[in-house]
Amino acid sequence: MVTVANKAGLEGISAGESAICQIDEEKGGLQYRGYRVEDLAEQASFEEVAYLLLMGELPSHQELQAWKRELDYAGFLPDPIPQVLRLVPATAHLMDTLRTGVSLLGMMDSEANNPSFEANVHKATRLIARLPLILSLACQSKQDKHQPISAGTCAENLLYLLTGTRDKAKAKELEVSLILYAEHEFNASTFAARVTASTWADLYGGVTSAIATLKGPSHGGANEAVAEMLVKIERPEKAKAWVLAALDRKERVMGFGHRVLKLEDPRSVIMKRRAKALSENMGEMRWYEMAEIMDQTMQEEKGLLPNLDFYTAVVYLLLKLPIKTYTPIFVTSRVAGWCAHIIEQQANNRIMRPRATYIGPPTREYLPIQHRSSRGTIGPGISPPDDPVLN
């Protein structure tokens, strides 16, 4: 057995082959199916990039139009999904609502258990069209209901659904972030999706595993944490002292560091440039100035560079997107990458079943309960629930 126990978090371990995304800091930076993310972010649409991830090639004009029609056609939530989601408590985390929404979509889809390439692409298309609708339904009151813009792009629709704003230039900023969020090799959520898919569980199961995994603050949750931090800091003059105090307390400053990208996150470079230009265009420099000071302080103090989440939070604050939607927005984009990985996994599948290096007690004799002495604790600290619903 090959042992990787000394590699906490499987750092640096290749867990399989993939033709979807290449991260090579020394050679080409970050590429989706051989295309540099810099080129895709500046020149492609999110729809083209999602198509590239799923199908392996950039679409022709005709192919793109046909796929956009499919996305438009799928752009509604079948009954009773809206009715069921309206029963979700208002206090629910939006990521949990998205996860539940995807489960419901799976239950309603007659193709759910068909693992063919064609069926999986159809399901991926429906998810890309419908996740923004689940998100908008989850965060709107009944009075404040937006429908998708007819023939709008994914980014235009998302901006409109979440803020009521119709603005092509602002939608382009959101679109760049969607392109950069769409895929990143064997990150934790994608790996979770592939493990699920490797059992021949259906695509919806893979995506729900992925959403649950992305929620964590060490992964997708970081973009919301960055915005909350910027709001708390309030003014550029306070930014440096805030970072120094956080580091003194040995806290992690959200939006910095990356398991794989140790030199520079090319996505962050792009978002920094976009955040600066957008701040200048809007005449609102406060968030950007604050972020730049924090960035510089983190480099000086820890040698750590910002990741994609850091300057994306500046752009999202400027676009007036509600902070609680940031990680769910990440879902609406990364779903393209997750589905591409599920399709790739099932095209050449073997169930993922690694081994563990056992570090527990050695073999011991079973003692009947009447012969065991008490260790002074009662169970694992279980107390009856307060909530009568749970009783």
Of residues 116 and 218, the one with the C-beta less far from ligand COA:
218
**What is the smallest separation between the CB atom of 284 and ligand COA, expressed in angstroms?**
24
**What is the smallest separation between the CB atom of 255 and ligand COA, expressed in angstroms?**
5
CA distance 52 to 57: 5
Dig out the tokens for 141 from the structure.
């009151």
Residue nearest to ligand COA (CB): 257
Nearby residues of 323 by Cβ (< 8 Å), 6 or more positions away: 224, 227, 228, 231, 316, 317
Spot the catalytic one: 258, 265, 295, 341. 258
204, 112 contact by CB (below 8 A): yes
Dig out the tokens for 361 from the structure.
């007690």
332, 178 contact by CB (below 8 A): yes
114, 141 contact by CB (below 8 A): no
Before 80, cis peptide (omega within 30)? Answer: yes
215, 102 contact by CB (below 8 A): no
**What is the smallest separation between the CB atom of 187 and ligand COA, expressed in angstroms?**
8
Q: Is 258 a catalytic residue?
A: yes
Q: Is 79 a catalytic residue?
A: no
Classify each residue of 255-293 as buried b or exposed e, where b means 16 or more C-beta atoms within 10 Å of its C-beta. Answer: bbbbeebeeebbbbbbbbebbbebbeeeeeeebbbbbbb
**What is the smallest separation between the CB atom of 277 and ligand COA, expressed in angstroms?**
23
**What residue ranges bind ligand COA (CB under 6 A)?**
9, 218, 222, 252-259, 302, 304, 307, 309
Of residues 45 and 223, the one with the C-beta less far from ligand COA:
223
- DSSP state at residue 253: P
**What is the smallest separation between the CB atom of 61 and ligand COA, expressed in angstroms?**
34
**What is the smallest separation between the CB atom of 391 and ligand COA, expressed in angstroms?**
38
Dig out the tokens for 261 from the structure.
């990208």
CA distance 253 to 250: 9
CA distance 330 to 95: 10
**What is the smallest separation between the CB atom of 192 and ligand COA, expressed in angstroms?**
15
CA distance 181 to 177: 6
CA distance 198 to 349: 6
| Residues taking part in catalysis | 219, 258, 309
